Amino acid sequence: MANCMVFHTQIASIMEVLANAAVADICKLVDDDYAVFRLEITQSQKENRALRRKLQLLELRVARERVLASRPSSVKILDRHRGMARGEGHLAGGHRSFVKPAGRNTWRDDQPITVDEGSGTSTHHVIVVESVDAEDAGPGVKLERSEGEDPGQSTDIQTGAAGVLPVATEDPTTTPPRTRRSITDVSGTPNAVLKSETDAETLTVAHRLLHTGSDHRSDPERLGPLGCPPAPSTEYLPVFHQSQKMVNSCGNTDGDALDSGGDDLSCFYTTEMDSGNISLGLETPTDLSRGDWNQCNSSVYSEGCLDKKGKVIAVDDVTVKVEGDTPLTWNADENHLGEGHSQDFLDYRESLETNPNVSSHSPVHTLRDRAPVSTTKGPSDSHGRVLFDQVLNSNDRARAHAQRGGATSGNNKEKRFLCMFCNKGFSCLQKVEIHQRVHTGVKPFSCTQCDMRFAEAGSLKRHQRVHTGEKPYSCPQCHMRFTQAGSLKRHLKVHVGERLFV
């Protein structure tokens, strides 16, 4: 009996040892495999970064060459950015590039294009405008900022040959003294093109929105003086929207840029952006495919109609004006584009870039904000696809409308706000913002009882009759009732014998 007990104890001990050994072996195998896996991942990431960097470089070169080929006397753009490319950062640094050609500004082949793959927490685009007109640089011109700076800093512009741009390493010995202007813009999104009445110097406005893809601005026929549709004796000014303190004052900080700089008004921006939640990643396709676009929208969009005044930045060469300072309400839960819009947006982008009739600006983010009507969840992926198909179709429609007269001519003062996508003119900013939802697919208004979303409040209101059953429009000649006045009007033709189809 005692021997049996001892035997069992020994057996138990042996089994425990064996079990421990097995566990150790398993752990070792797992660790080994994990290490190998990690190594492979790391290598893949490195390769991915390298390829991406190359891609960006190539894109920039292609864009520049395109501009050189089509517009020999132009400007040059230094596009610095990234970090967002890896989805690491937000748009705290902002970016848009503004190029203001002046005098003998030219693109130069020797101009280095630097693509920073830096921190990713702050990115911006730098456009260096070279001008031999020293008088162009007025007081308040500062050095351009380098990447990673506080987005709240002022737009910096460098004057004179003394400064050496951190990005554009220009050889001062081979070039005459120049006036360099670089507007390092804050975060924001081009929202519309505001057409000014001035006929001062032309300004090519280039905005990239963290986009490393093809250069939207390089099409001179589309861009015109301000990177916007050309218009005789008119400058088209891009309108950006930011929500708050992202606005930088540049040069004149007294906010008189718009008022005092009429003759030299070059840019006029209204910007809205949530400084704390800016993920304006109109990113590279890679990033978009990861959903940055959705993230962007969820954090950016809301109702386009303002309850409060947004900020307005006026870039008057070296000045930025902030007209408003009211923080806006965000609803980060809103994903107005819903799931699955990333690729849709890419498709849309592609359509923009390949269609010569479409403004080649980066897509717009309407950042104006108001609490959405409701916060139902976004549409499904399929809905997203449908939505963007609608967007694309509507874009064609809008473009067609613009071509047959919707687009503002240069002297239509009543429609000073131009859509960045189709050039259609609108009388006020809100109109163009709402209109641009056609292109962006933003639908801030969501139904509380279903997943439907709408770009306009009125559409939501109309839609909600579907749920309430309200049919306020009744036919006087029959018992038919309708939810929409247009439906009743159409129905009335039945009674009068008017047939749509014979």
User: Of 80-88, 119-127, 227-235, 485-493, which segment contacts DNA by CB under 7 A?
Assistant: 485-493
Strand runs (DSSP E) across 116-162, as ranges? 128-131
Closer residue to DNA in complex, CB, 310/378:
310
Say if residues 193 and 276 touch (Cβ distance below 8 Å). no
Distances (CA, A) of 157 to 164, 185, 335: 12, 11, 37
Closer residue to DNA in complex, CB, 60/402:
402
Look up residue 252 and give its two tokens.
């004149």
**Residue 497 CA to chain centroid, in angstroms?**
51
Closer residue to DNA in complex, CB, 131/294:
294
Distance separating alpha carbons of residues 181 and 156, to the nearest angstrom: 8
The residues, any chain, with a CB within 8 Å of residue 95's CB and separated by 6 or more, are: 81, 123, 124, 125, 185, 187, 207, 208, 209, 210
Distance separating alpha carbons of residues 314 and 238, to the nearest angstrom: 10
User: Of 66-74, 169-177, 354-362, 394-402, which segment contacts DNA by CB under 7 A?
Assistant: 394-402
Contact status: 496 vs DNA (CB under 7 A): no
Distance separating alpha carbons of residues 297 and 367, to the nearest angstrom: 9
Closer residue to DNA in complex, CB, 2/500:
500
Distances (CA, A) of 277 to 122, 156, 202: 13, 24, 34
Choosing from 256, 409, 458, 474, the residue that interacts with DNA (CB under 7 A) is: 458
Distance separating alpha carbons of residues 122 and 290, to the nearest angstrom: 19
User: Of 9-17, 87-95, 195-203, 453-461, which segment contacts DNA by CB under 7 A?
Assistant: 453-461
Closer residue to DNA in complex, CB, 128/391:
391
Contact status: 180 vs DNA (CB under 7 A): no
Contact status: 443 vs DNA (CB under 7 A): yes
Nearest to 185 by CA among 292, 272, 95: 95
Closer residue to DNA in complex, CB, 68/305:
305
Nearest to 92 by CA among 129, 54, 118: 118
Contact status: 39 vs DNA (CB under 7 A): no
Contact status: 479 vs DNA (CB under 7 A): no
Over the window 335 to 374, marking each residue x when it contacts DNA by CB under 7 A and - when it does not, the resulting string is ---------------------------------x-x----
Say if residues 252 and 178 touch (Cβ distance below 8 Å). no
Minimum distance of DNA from residue 386's CB (angstroms): 9
Using a 10 angstrom Cβ sphere, with 0-12 exposed, 13-18 middle and 19 or more buried, the burial of residue 133 is middle
Site residues for DNA, window 283-342 (CB under 7 A)?
303, 305-307, 309-310
Interface with DNA: number of residues (CB under 7 A): 56
Chain residues in the site for DNA (CB under 7 A): 303, 305-307, 309-310, 368, 370, 387, 390-391, 393-394, 397-398, 401, 406, 424, 426-431, 434-435, 437-438, 443, 452-459, 461-463, 465-466, 480, 482-487, 489-491, 494, 499-501
